[in-house]
Chain A
Amino acid sequence: MAFRSEFTELMTRNLYKWFFEKYDQFTPVYPQIYQVEQMTGAYDQQVIGVGLGDLTERREGNDIVADNILEGPTAVAKARTFSSSFYLTMETVEDASSDKLDNMLRNVAAGWGEKVISTKEKFAALPFNKGGFTSGHDVFNNTITGVVTDPSGAFIYTGKPFFALTGNNHVASDGSTYFNSLGALSLSGTNLQTAYNKIAVDNNRDERGAMVDIKPDSLIIPGGLHFTAKTILESELLPGGANNDKNVIKGLVSPIEWAYLTDADGWFLGARKKGLVFYERKAPVIDFYQDEISKKYYATIDTRFGLMVNNWRYWVAANISTA
């Protein structure tokens, strides 16, 4: 004779098995773009741009000049909870054959395997899809009421959209202003060079305005720009030219196609795993239990993760929406 607790335990074990069979089949894009870290608490916060300036030359016998330690703004990331559930009536469970029940639950667990990945992908794509919004977006707001307050609210730590247009610039701690949304620029070789120089020549300054080495390595594109990107980055000679000029941007950066980008002609240039952190807080937890009042059998899944933009300088965007 089988006890109910054994049945729910067995179902939980099976759901895990089927879940992970499917979970492993999908290769997400976000770990290529984000630095993935483990989070242990409810949130993580970083003070941006703490540091000192260059050393100064000291003449013989002179005193050492003291520098001021500069403390920049604070970036916060909270662990967000994502869940789903379904139930089966007691009668369904009692009347269904064990094979049929197995198949039904196998399909559900496999579906969760896909959905956990796609939920993370959609979430990780939000800073790109909503990063140009001039009114900000909830994905950047990491306030947990009563626990931690995100000082920049629905914006990144600069108090501006992740991708700030000229005229709505990021302001560094030294007062310098920068922008990293290039506006209405189609994806072309010339415009890719403009974007590259924006990162490597204009925005390569730290919070104190000192020069830093920043080089983009990835072009993030929606599926609709796949062939444009290949033409620009893989042609030996300059595409569209009649003079057989060398294509100087061949292989300059690697294209990463991301199905979760919603702007059909928006594109992004940046450095992989720089300036963006994806926090894994809790791996998916599956539970299967019977409610004592309704007698329904419930299966639930719960997982927690979050993200943070801790340096906008590694990224530029072109032709993205502002609302």
Chain B
Amino acid sequence: MAKKKIELSTDESKVKETVGETEKTVLGLSEAERLQKSGWQLIDCHLTPEGKKYKFRKVN
């Protein structure tokens, strides 16, 4: 089945999320830390002009 991708805006103005079934990308350490502590696994982190961008994978 093809992955369904939707764009979400969150309460935190600095945070942008791309939500798929298995991956999420967020901007900013506080949101990244929240995701990691809720069980997502960090697979990529790099500095962008907007700040550090974190990519996570869902762990089953």
Closest A-chain residue to B44, C-beta based?
A322
Q: Which of the segments A5-13, A170-178, A181-189, A272-280 contacts the partner chain?
A: A181-189
What's the least CB distance linking B30 to chain A, in Å?
7
CA distance A322 to B47 in the complex (A): 9
A321 within 8 A of partner (CB): yes
**Contact residues in B for A185 (Cβ distance below 8 Å):** 33, 36
Interchain CA distance A166-B36 in the complex, whole Å: 12
How distant is the Cα of A151 from the Cα of B11 in the complex, in angstroms? Answer: 48
A132, A134, A166, A184: the one contacting B54 at CB < 8 Å is A184
Q: Is the Cβ of A165 less than 8 Å from the Cβ of B29?
A: no
Given contacts A166-B41, A167-B41, A321-B52, A186 and B30 within 8 Å (CB-CB)? yes
Contact with A along B10-34 (1 / 0, CB 8 A): 0000000000000000000110110
Give Cα distance in the complex from A263 to B51, angstroms.
11
B4 within 8 A of A: no
Number of interface residues of A (CB under 8 A): 16
Inter-chain contacts of A319 with B (CB < 8 A):
29, 45, 52
Inter-chain CA distance A321–B29, complex, in Å, is 12
Among A163-215, those with CB < 8 Å from B are 165-167, 183-186
**Across the interface, do B46 and A186 meet the contact criterion of CB distance under 8 Å?**
no
Scan residues 138-183 of chain A and give those whose CB is less than 8 A from a CB of chain B.
165-167, 183
Task: Say if the beta carbon of B43 comes within 8 Å of chain A.
Answer: yes
Interface of chain A, main secondary structure: loop
Residues in B whose Cβ lies below 8 Å from that of A132: 45
Specify the chain B residue showing the minimal Cβ separation from A263.
Answer: B47
A114: Cβ under 8 A from any B Cβ: no
Contact in complex: B46, A183 (CB < 8 Å): no
List of A residues within 8 angstroms of B52 by Cβ? 265, 319, 321
CB contact between A321 and one of B36, B43, B46 (< 8 Å): that residue? B46
Contact B30–A183 (Cβ < 8 Å): no
Contact B41 A265 (CB under 8 A): no
- A265:B29 contact, CB within 8 angstroms: yes
List of B residues within 8 angstroms of A1 by Cβ? none
Q: Which residue of A has the minimal Cβ distance to B29?
A: A186
Decide if B35 touches A184 in the complex (CB within 8 Å). Answer: yes
Contact B45 A322 (CB under 8 A): yes
- Please give the distance in Å from B7's CB to the nearest CB on chain A: 21
Query: 7 interchain pairs (CB within 8 A)?
Result: A132-B45, A165-B41, A165-B42, A166-B41, A184-B36, A322-B43, A322-B46
- Knowing that A184-B29, A319-B29, A321-B47 touch, tell me 5 more A-B residue pairs with CB under 8 angstroms: A132-B45, A165-B43, A185-B33, A186-B33, A321-B45
- B interface with A by C-beta (< 8 Å): 29-30, 32-33, 35-36, 41-47, 52, 54, 57
* A positions within 8 Å CB-CB of B: 132, 134, 165-167, 183-186, 263, 265, 319-323
